[in-house]
Amino acid sequence: MFNFFKKNKEEKSIIIKSPVVGRCFDISEIPDEVFSSKMLGNGIGFESTEGVLYAPIDGEILQVFPTKHALILKSKEGLEILLHIGIDTVEMKGEGFESFTEKGQQVKAGDKLLTFDNKLIKAKAKTNLSVLVVTDNEIIESVEFNLGNVEKNNDVIIIKLKK
């Protein structure tokens, strides 16, 4: 019974896994002010070496954009995450993207969500540099980042939630 009270006082954290095999870097390096200035929220930039986007958390898919260049998912704790491949890729109208998920689907960290053609993105869009943005900062107390070269399911963000 006393353990129940102790658990309520413990800090609640969410670990966000790498959405790619490649590298994760500071979001300020993204060549788009909407993302680099954290206008939509805090997060990381990433660059995939294999053209596959993986689920960074267990959660529900809230939206897959019709152009398949972005999606939003929500954790059971209520954290919403935007994953956006490249900059100005909406103009590609889905060319070079394939989705393996849909709105309402439950996913586990590491599940394949999208594939994308890096060479085509580099040729047709501003850049293939991509972002993971945590869009609801009001429930977050603090954020820690583990940046650098990453493999699928490496821990890249640790979020401590407000009590």
How confident is the model over 51-65, as pLDDT tens digits?
999 999 999 999 999
Radius of gyration of the chain (CA): 16
- The catalytically annotated residue of 30, 41, 84, 130 is 84
* Partner residues linked to 157 by β-bridges: 16, 145
Strand, helix or coil for residue 104: coil
Strand, helix or coil for residue 107: strand
Instruction: Please say if the pLDDT value at position 6 is more than 50.
Output: no
Does residue 69 have an active-site annotation? Answer: no
Average pLDDT over residues 145-157: 92
Determine the Cα–Cα distance for residues 78 and 74; give it in Å rounded to an integer: 6
Percentage of the chain exceeding pLDDT 90:
83
Q: What is the pTM of this model?
A: 0.90
